[in-house]
């Protein structure tokens, strides 16, 4: 796989998982509304995917290390990956009620994060356990903080 595509897929996948799972948990804690969570997921899939793609684009332009083609390939790969990954979290909400959908989303996010980081660690020759543990720990921290912030917003502004 080309380096530009790896850059975009790596960033888009990780951001798509962490952002969407945090948003789902926070909106659920704050509102308990399926509509709010689905709307949030769609917003992440569209607005945040564009934002991240532009962020990668600007970062690559600022580095002045890569060609114009590399920059656009990374930009497009970031957008498409984030859009697809974030959108995939809607599926459980179309099948199950809120509690089951949140649990399914957490399991789906954990699976994607673990699988991606395991493959990445193996390719780099790193210890897969350490790489997976580090990134899952970060995801858990995001989920816990998002839950409490969502709950706080629900109490104070709900």
Determine the number of helices (DSSP H) and then strands (DSSP E) in the chain.
7, 0
Average pLDDT over residues 68-82: 95
Model confidence pLDDT, tens digit, residues 9-43: 999 999 999 999 999 999 999 999 999 999 999 99
Does 60 score more than 80 pLDDT? Answer: yes
Q: Is residue 16 helix, strand or coil?
A: helix
Nearest to 23 by CA among 39, 7, 9, 11: 39
Q: Are 117 and 47 in contact (CB under 8 A)?
A: no
CA gap 56, 112 in Å, rounded = 21
Mean pLDDT of 94-119: 97
* pLDDT at position 3: 86
Phi, psi of 127 (to 5 degrees): -75, 110
pLDDT of 158 > 80? The answer is no
- pLDDT given at position 82: 98
Q: How confident is the model at residue 1 (pLDDT cuts 50, 70, 90)?
A: confident
Q: How many C-beta neighbours within 10 Å does residue 144 have?
A: 12
Q: What is the pLDDT of residue 150?
A: 97
Q: Whose CA is closest to 113, among 89, 148, 144?
A: 89
Confidence of residue 100 (pLDDT cuts 50, 70, 90): very high
Nearest residue to 48 (alpha-carbon basis) of 92, 5, 95, 12: 12
């Amino acid at each position: 796989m080309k380096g530009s595509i790896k850059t975009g897929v790596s960033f888009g996948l990780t951001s798509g998982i962490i952002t969407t799972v945090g948003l789902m948990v926070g909106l659920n804690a704050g509102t308990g509304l399926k509509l709010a969570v689905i709307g949030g997921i769609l917003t992440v899939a569209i607005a945040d995917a564009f934002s991240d793609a532009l962020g990668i684009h600007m970062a690559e332009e600022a580095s002045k290390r890569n060609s114009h083609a590399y920059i656009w390939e990374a930009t497009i790969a970031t957008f498409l990956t984030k859009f697809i990954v974030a959108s995939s979290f809607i599926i459980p909400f179309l099948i199950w009620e809120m509690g089951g959908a949140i649990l399914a989303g957490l399991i789906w996010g954990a699976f994607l994060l673990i699988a991606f980081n395991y493959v990445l660690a193996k390719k780099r020759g790193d210890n897969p356990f350490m790489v997976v543990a580090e990134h899952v720990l970060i995801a858990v921290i995001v989920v816990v903080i998002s839950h409490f912030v969502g709950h706080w917003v629900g109490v104070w502004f709900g």
